[in-house]
């Protein structure tokens, strides 16, 4: 088993992305941040490295960076403590310039919604209100 996760995402404008996620209430670990990248703290053992596109390119060799406004390679899903937190983060993201790709989804035992950040990465937010139905 592993103790931590670091998701690495390319961003066009690092400071603009920092400002966006700061407005959503996220903090950053300055020990792992500089003019090329920053470490966003999502939870005690969950981090998202926002990397400037040229810096990110150095990790992927000759592969192209996907334009997340046109194609998706991954969905980032984080849990929330309530429906209100889900809705609040989506509203904050929209107010900070993010896009809302679809309406909220209520499955009874699970409530979810999503936003796209400034670079088009989709962030799924979910609140588990109970156990999923038995199959």
Q: Provide the residue-wise pLDDT of the chain in tens; the chain has 135 residues.
A: 778 899 999 999 999 999 999 999 999 999 999 999 999 999 999 999 999 999 999 999 999 999 999 998 888 999 999 999 999 999 999 999 999 999 999 998 999 999 999 999 999 999 998 777 776
Q: What is the DSSP string of 25-55?
A: T-EEEGGG-SSSEEEEEEETTEEEEEEEHHH
Q: Which of 54, 56, 110 is nearest to 80 (CA)?
A: 110
Query: pTM here?
Result: 0.89
- Architecture per CATH, domain 5-128, reads as Roll (3.10)
Phi-psi region of 117 (alpha: psi -120 to 50; beta: other; left: phi over 0): beta
CA angle 79, 76, 47 (to 5 degrees): 80
Confirm if 86 and 128 have CB atoms less than 8 A apart: no
Q: Three-state DSSP class for 76? A: strand
């Amino acid at each position: 088993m592993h103790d931590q996760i670091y998701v690495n995402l390319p961003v066009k404008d690092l400071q603009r992305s920092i400002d966006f996620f700061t407005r959503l209430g996220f903090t950053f670990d300055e020990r792992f941040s500089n003019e090329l990248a920053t470490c966003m703290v999502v939870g005690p053992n969950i981090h998202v490295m926002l990397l400037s596109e040229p810096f990110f390119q150095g990790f992927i060799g000759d592969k192209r960076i996907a334009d997340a406004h046109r194609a998706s390679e991954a969905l980032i899903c984080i849990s929330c403590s309530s429906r209100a937190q889900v809705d609040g983060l989506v509203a904050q993201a929209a107010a900070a310039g993010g896009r809302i790709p679809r309406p909220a989804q209520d499955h009874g035992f699970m409530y979810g919604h999503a936003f796209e950040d400034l670079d088009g990465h989709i962030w799924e937010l979910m609140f588990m209100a109970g156990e999923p139905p038995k199959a």
